[in-house]
Amino acid sequence: MGTQNELTLVIGNKSYSSWSLRPWLALRQAGADFQEIVVPLRQPDTKATLLGHGPSGKVPVLKHDGLVIWDSLAICEYVAELYPDAGLWPADRQARAIARAAASEMHSGFTDLRRNLFMDLRTRHDVPERVAAAAADIARIQELWTDCRTRFGQGGPFLFGRFTLADAMFAPVCVRMRGWGVELEPVPDAYVSAVLDLPAMKEWTAAAAAEPWEIDYLTV
Ligand SMILES: N[C@@H](CCC(=O)N[C@@H](CS)C(=O)NCC(=O)O)C(=O)O
């Protein structure tokens, strides 16, 4: 049994669970000490197992101090409050407002991109029709990233310079851009490389490569 205030993050397979990657990366970047429980998706017992962890029956779920927090963005906010010195939101009020808008736009939108270009860390997909179907989302994301980098990115390689929750929210999109061979303009392309070069992203990717479960989202 762990101590009462131990942090436990319940996540899906690292190969496929894009929503799980976001708070996991936030916790790693904050330097948090946390346990993780991986629940493989699309198994016969997945739904029951997930409902045993949280009320939405979805991952991610964070457990802390008797509290169960579901939903990626709510968990990211909680981590930012637990670790204020990690600077998970920009210090400047205006930059912070735009970072929240960017994180929220990701959380609530880009459905064509999410549906067509699913995250699959172990496979490079070459399906131009799927990239074409997500073209409007890809264009908007490039515009958003370029705007953030240009206006707020002077202090580092991320959207707001140093790493923030906006980057955590877009990390799975960076994976998708490379995994589906999406051609990017120079500023978004450099941004994707910066995110994928994070040691925590390499750690997540290596763990994904070692997973035994396979889901073919092209056919399911
Ligand atoms: N809005 C939620 C979405 C969570 C979500 O859709 N998670 C997926 C996996 S990435 C899930 O748990 N699916 C399992 C299922 O539906 O059985 C969040 O941001 O956390």
pLDDT for position 2 = 42
Asked if 102 contacts 149 with a C-beta cutoff of 8 angstroms, the reply is no
Of 41, 37, 29, give the one whose Cα is nearest residue 119.
41
pTM over 0.95: yes
The pLDDT value given to residue 99? 98
Rounded Cα distance between 47 and 42, Å, is 8
Range of the domain at 69: 4-86
In a domain, 210, yes or no: no
The ligand 1 site (C-beta within 6 Å) comprises 12, 17-20, 41, 46-47, 58-60, 71-73
> Is residue 166 domain-resident?
yes
Give pLDDT, residue 5: 73
- Of the chain, the end-to-end C-alpha distance in Å amounts to 38
Same domain, 134 and 74: no
Mean pLDDT by 10 residues, the chain (220 residues): 74 98 98 98 96 98 97 98 98 98 98 97 96 98 98 98 98 98 98 98 98 88
Domain annotation covers residue 140: yes
Rg of the Cα atoms in the chain: 17
Q: Are residues 104 and 122 in the same domain?
A: yes
Same domain? 102 vs 196 = yes
CATH of the domain at 74: 3.40.30.10
CA 207 to ligand 1 center in whole angstroms: 20
User: Residue 142 C-alpha to ligand 1 middle, in angstroms?
Assistant: 25
Rounded to the nearest angstrom, the distance between the alpha carbon of 117 and the centre of ligand 1 is 16
Could you give the CA distance from residue 141 to residue 171 in angstroms, rounded to a whole number? 12
Give the per-residue pLDDT at 1: 40
Comparing CA positions, the residue from 18, 52, 40 lying closest to residue 213 is: 40
Residue finishing a domain among 86, 120, 154: 86
119 vs 171: CA distance, rounded Å: 11
The reply to whether 209 falls in a domain is no
pLDDT confidence of residue 219? 84
> Do residues 82 and 113 both lie within one domain?
no
**Can you give the CATH number for the domain in which 109 is found?**
1.20.1050
